[in-house]
Amino acid sequence: MKLAILHYKNGNIVSLVAFPAGAPMPELPAGPGQVVTELDAPETMSGLQPRDIASKLKHLAENFCIDVAGSERKLVSRT
């Protein structure tokens, strides 16, 4: 499973979508100062039911951001 993550250039997440590995990344329209990053979904999302995936995505959006400091983008905890 992969994630398409719409975020500001500072790493704050605006929106994210899960999609199957090997499928085209969904289009997320980026506004000014926003970019879209594709990442592998956390292992904890493997095998989840759709309702549980939605809950996990909400948790990620509220508690994580994108590390934009290095050359490789990754999800990091806000705390």
pLDDT tens for each residue of 25-50: 999 999 999 999 999 999 999 899 98
**Residue 35 and residue 9: Cα distance in Å, rounded?**
6
The token pair at 53 is: 């995936």
Full-model pTM: 0.91
Domain range annotation of the chain: 2-77
Q: What is the pLDDT of residues 57-71, one digit of tens each?
A: 999 999 999 999 988
